[in-house]
Structure 1
Amino acid sequence: MYTLSNRLKMFSIILMVLGALGIGYGFLTAPKTIQDVEALEKAEAHHGGGHEAAGHEATPAHEAHEASAETTPAAAEAHHDEVATEEAHAEHTTAVVTDTAHAEHAAATDTLAVAHAAEVAAPAHHKVAEKHETAVDAHAEHQEHLEHVLHQLQNKPWAALYVACIFFLLITMGVLAFYGIQWVAQAGWSPVLFRVMEGITAYLPVGSVIFFIFLLICGLDLFHSNHLFPWMVEGITDPKSEHYDALVAGKSGYLNFGFWIIRAAVFLAGWNLYRFFARKTSLKQDEAPAGDNFNYKKLFKGSAGFLVFFIVSESIMSWDWIMSLDPHWFSTLFGWYVFASFFVSGITTICMVTLYLKSKGLLEYVNTSHIHDLAKFMFGISVFWTYLWFSQFMLIWYANIPEEVTYFITRINDYTVPFWGAVVMNFVFPILILVNTDFKRVTWILVIAGSIILCGHYVDFFNMIMPATVGKNWFIGISEVSSVLFFLGLFLLVIFNALTKAPLLPKGNPFIEESKHFHY
């Protein structure tokens, strides 16, 4: 039996406390008003040399607003001088013409002078009016720009929390899918690892509750500072609204809060029901008399049904929870792409937890051949992820359809380092490190490779979510780091506590002897 050490427990709690404090700080320091955004932009411009240096480009509206503010007073002053000159000219004409015999001629002269003055003043008035209208329009556009930036900066702590929340939840789902595949395949090598997988999937109920609450907060706009999902904006499907979006309106039969949250509830409930069923049935098999494989067969059939449900729900989940952040964009490969990302992360987590338990003198029947097989899966699924990444990117980039290619242009231009960094961490490093057969059995090499893969796929989820929610206003700050720390601490505490609840060796499994003596 495994016993949770006080050191690991305290470490997990410290991570959670630090993470919670940082998350709170991120929400407290997020701008609340447009004036806060203006103050931030001015401060950044002062220290960074302008909006571009500060990470916010100066919009044409803003430039026009500033230009009109400078030119309008000058035009008004010119107009005032012209009118004053004409008035002086009229007075001079009246004073000179004193002879009563020329009164009619003077009156006619005065009339011509006034008409001339009106002709001169009219263009000046027209120019001032045009510049005033330009200034008003520019000011309105600038206010709209500030409001957009405000929404993005308010999204930042929410988006950081969302990335970490969904990442750790889907790691657990990757482990659960791998666990189900082992049962359906009747694999003989992996039963000695089943308790490790069951321990990791213990996070699923906890993560599901937190994630579902997060979705409710987004959909119900409980704190009035969350704009993660654009299709939830009020009036976006109403043709009379200023927020109307014809494309989103066309998808409203699918993308609406009621149907969306029901789908989320069904998916999360289905995954948790299988996890509960599998754990309970697996423990019952341990208690069954020798030769009684009723529970094993029951779990085999249940796992087959789960995998069918999983492959459908996983694809829809990826559309609902990630792709709908960019409701104008879609990819037919996206469900598989997301699956590959969290599937390899789940397998990597199994390997890392197994190596930790082995270092504590546990899992005596897990040998280097088991570790080697896990490393082969890490290597193979990393290549599979790269194939999907390239297929999705190459086809969209080559077709160059504006509605599709914008997704990648935004990420390449505004997220250059994380976009290409994810490729390096998720493909280049695994290939270089794990292509060697001997390296797949060396603990410290696998720890390095596993750490890089997990960090790389967190960055992958970061790339999928942040550009759609915060735009250019991103950086790895307190909110991002704190969110990872909180969910990492919670993840470690839950899974290692679950490992203490049952023996680490599933003795009742009919393939356990084969697994215990697995060598090649």
Structure 2
Amino acid sequence: MGTHNHHHDYNFSEQYTFAGTAKIVSLVAIVLGVAAIAYGLYTGDTMRTFANLLLMGYYFACVCAAGAFFVALQLVTQSGWSAGLLRIPQAMASVLPIASIILLIIAAGGIYTHTLYHHWTDPDLFDPNSPKYDALVAGKAAFLNIPGFFIRQILFMGCYSIFAFILAKLSYKEDLEGGLNTYKQGFKLSAIFLVIFGFTTPIWSFDTIMSLEAHWFSTMFGWYNFAAMWVSGISVITVILILLKKGGYMAWVNENHLHDLGKLMFGFSIFWTYVWFAQFMLIWYSNIPEETVYFYKRWEPEYKPWFWLSIVINFLAPLLLLVDRDAKRKQNMMLFVAILLLCGHWLDYYIMIMPGTVETDRGFGLLEIGTAIGFAGLFTFLVMNKISKHALAPKHHPFLDESLNHQI
């Protein structure tokens, strides 16, 4: 096989035009989402509405953070295969500051309305003279307090957002200047970012999701959340890439690149399952009451079908559909599995959040679907708008040639 450089066969200055059907559909989805949230609040279903807002706000922030993680990881590992498709995760990373602000507003609203984090935000829980006094929660007061919660949220998400924004900015600057200067800057920043991200994402998930059920704790929960975030991020990159290719863009990305994304989706779905099983198995085996209560809630009739469906979608589907080499090289199959995994991890977050918040009304219907559609529309609008602002290829990326000649 020759290593002929196809550099001149492609238009690296091509730009995506975000208009027409794609733009209209995303805007309609946002309107539907706003209507669903307004309906939830109007009917007095405040707790369920805020639980859904937290679910989608967290999912939105996680996917954008995964975009930043993807970009940083490619820089630090000096990966060449991904150079041609970096504009997609860069756009996701650029939207992280907006996603972070939305998540902060939702958390603040949830605390203010006593619909979220009510297991530890009530001052009476910490007062030994109060009938509501809870020794277990009071023992966690150094961590579980409102100022600490917001300081950590602002620090973590602010830090991720700054790095994400700068990394994307450097790549766009590279298009104008060429040379290795911006690449080297990106490499150093990515190394710092990955260390910070690696140590703080578990704490971020402890705060945002695990503290909804303040009695329960699991040291594996952070990595479980990281695995879900990473699989979801890879799935979103895959969906956007395939849809752009179907629209006639990014001709320099081929089935070899798709194959690599497929391997990441497949491998980390197995990793997610490994962490899921390890957490479940250890808690089942030890049979300690304050630990088993978490799964006991999820085995109630309202949640048990979703609990098992989550495993079927997030483990069995990628295992059976992507184990074959050829499947990872087919656009339609990859698109199907990526969308299926995005729905599966929505269900995964649903199971993480709902049993600990919506304790009285355990509905599943228009509010859940409408909120999800609204956030999907918002994500699409912001990310595709960002993608349309720059050329689809990082034309001066030092490893672009390697990406063009990538073969598996």
Q: What's the TM-score, normalizing by structure 1?
A: 0.74
Asked whether 1:190 is paired with 2:82, we answer yes
CA 1:227–1:502 in structure 2 vs 1: closer, same or farther (change >3 Å)?
A: closer
Q: Distance in 2 between matches of 1:295 and 1:445?
A: 37
Asked whether 1:353 is paired with 2:251, we answer no
- Whether the 8 Å CA contact 2:116–2:212 is kept in 1: the answer is no
Asked whether 1:264 is paired with 2:145, we answer no
- Whether the 8 Å CA contact 1:340–1:384 is kept in 2: the answer is yes
Q: Distance in 2 between matches of 1:357 and 1:458?
A: 24
- Whether the 8 Å CA contact 2:117–2:211 is kept in 1: the answer is no
Map 1:69-468 onto structure 2 (within 5 A): 154-219=46-111, 221=112, 224=113, 226-289=115-178, 292-414=179-301, 415-468=303-356
User: Could you say which residue in structure 1 is the equivalent of 2:8?
Assistant: none
- Whether the 8 Å CA contact 1:155–1:228 is kept in 2: the answer is no
Q: Secondary structure at the match of 1:242?
A: coil
Q: Distance in 2 between matches of 1:240 and 1:225?
A: 22
Asked whether 1:478 is paired with 2:370, we answer no
User: Could you say which residue in structure 1 is the equivalent of 2:27?
Assistant: 13
Letter of the 2:243 partner, please give it: Y
Q: Distance in 2 between matches of 1:462 and 1:472?
A: 16
Q: Distance in 2 between matches of 1:471 and 1:293?
A: 55
Letter of the 1:320 partner, please give it: D
- Whether the 8 Å CA contact 2:91–2:168 is kept in 1: the answer is no
Q: Secondary structure at the match of 1:231?
A: coil
- Whether the 8 Å CA contact 2:49–2:367 is kept in 1: the answer is yes
User: Could you say which residue in structure 2 is the equivalent of 1:516?
Assistant: 404
**Residues 353-380 of structure 1: CA deviation (Å, up to 9, x unaligned):** 0000000111111010000100110000
User: Could you say which residue in structure 2 is the equivalent of 1:507?
Assistant: 395
Q: CA deviation at 1:225?
A: 5.2
Q: Secondary structure at the match of 1:373?
A: helix
Q: Distance in 1 between matches of 2:404 and 2:288?
A: 54
- Whether the 8 Å CA contact 2:115–2:357 is kept in 1: the answer is no
- Whether the 8 Å CA contact 1:155–1:226 is kept in 2: the answer is yes
Q: CA deviation at 1:227?
A: 4.2
Moved more, 366-375 or 240-249: 240-249
User: Could you say which residue in structure 2 is the equivalent of 1:88?
Assistant: none
Moved more, 260-269 or 203-212: 203-212
Q: Distance in 2 between matches of 1:427 and 1:227?
A: 30
Q: CA deviation at 1:310?
A: 0.3
User: Could you say which residue in structure 2 is the equivalent of 1:145?
Assistant: none
Higher relative contact order (CA 8 A, sep 6+): 2
- Whether the 8 Å CA contact 1:154–1:225 is kept in 2: the answer is no
Letter of the 1:319 partner, please give it: F
User: Could you say which residue in structure 1 is the equivalent of 2:10?
Assistant: none
Q: Which has the higher helix share?
A: 1
Q: Distance in 2 between matches of 1:158 and 1:482?
A: 13
- Whether the 8 Å CA contact 2:205–2:221 is kept in 1: the answer is yes
Q: Distance in 2 between matches of 1:472 and 1:428?
A: 32
Letter of the 1:244 partner, please give it: Y
Q: Distance in 2 between matches of 1:274 and 1:306?
A: 7
- Whether the 8 Å CA contact 1:227–1:233 is kept in 2: the answer is no
Q: CA deviation at 1:23?
A: 1.0
Q: Structure 2 regions of 5+ residues with no counterpart?
A: 1-14
**Residues 228-254 of structure 1: CA deviation (Å, up to 9, x unaligned):** 431001311011122211111111111
Q: Distance in 2 between matches of 1:214 and 1:6?
A: 31
Letter of the 1:170 partner, please give it: C
Q: Distance in 1 between matches of 2:46 and 2:175?
A: 51
Q: Distance in 1 between matches of 2:46 and 2:235?
A: 34
Letter of the 1:519 partner, please give it: Q
Letter of the 1:242 partner, please give it: P
**Residues 155-207 of structure 1: CA deviation (Å, up to 9, x unaligned):** 11110111111111111111211221111000010010111111222321211
Whichever of the two has the greater Rg, that structure is 1
**Residues 131-172 of structure 1: CA deviation (Å, up to 9, x unaligned):** xxxxxxxxxxxxxxxxxxxxxx54111101111111111111
- Whether the 8 Å CA contact 1:203–1:494 is kept in 2: the answer is yes
- Whether the 8 Å CA contact 1:234–1:243 is kept in 2: the answer is no
**Residues 53-76 of structure 1: CA deviation (Å, up to 9, x unaligned):** xxxxxxxxxxxxxxxxxxxxxxxx
Asked whether 1:490 is paired with 2:368, we answer no
Q: Distance in 2 between matches of 1:259 and 1:342?
A: 24
Q: Secondary structure at the match of 2:324?
A: coil
Q: Distance in 1 between matches of 2:354 and 2:407?
A: 45
Q: Distance in 1 between matches of 2:118 and 2:399?
A: 47
Asked whether 1:26 is paired with 2:33, we answer no
**Residues 77-104 of structure 1: CA deviation (Å, up to 9, x unaligned):** xxxxxxxxxxxxxxxxxxxxxxxxxxxx
Q: CA deviation at 1:499?
A: 0.6
Q: Secondary structure at the match of 2:80?
A: coil
Aligned residues: 393
Q: What's the TM-score, normalizing by structure 2?
A: 0.94
CA 1:472–1:411 in structure 2 vs 1: closer, same or farther (change >3 Å)?
A: farther
Letter of the 1:375 partner, please give it: G
**Residues 485-504 of structure 1: CA deviation (Å, up to 9, x unaligned):** 11111000001000111101
Q: Distance in 2 between matches of 1:298 and 1:176?
A: 15
Letter of the 2:275 partner, please give it: L
Q: Distance in 1 between matches of 2:115 and 2:243?
A: 39
Q: Distance in 1 between matches of 2:383 and 2:170?
A: 19
Q: Distance in 2 between matches of 1:437 and 1:229?
A: 48
Aligned residues: CA RMSD: 1.2
Equivalent pairs: percent with the same residue? Answer: 40
- Whether the 8 Å CA contact 1:227–1:469 is kept in 2: the answer is yes
User: Could you say which residue in structure 2 is the equivalent of 1:100?
Assistant: none
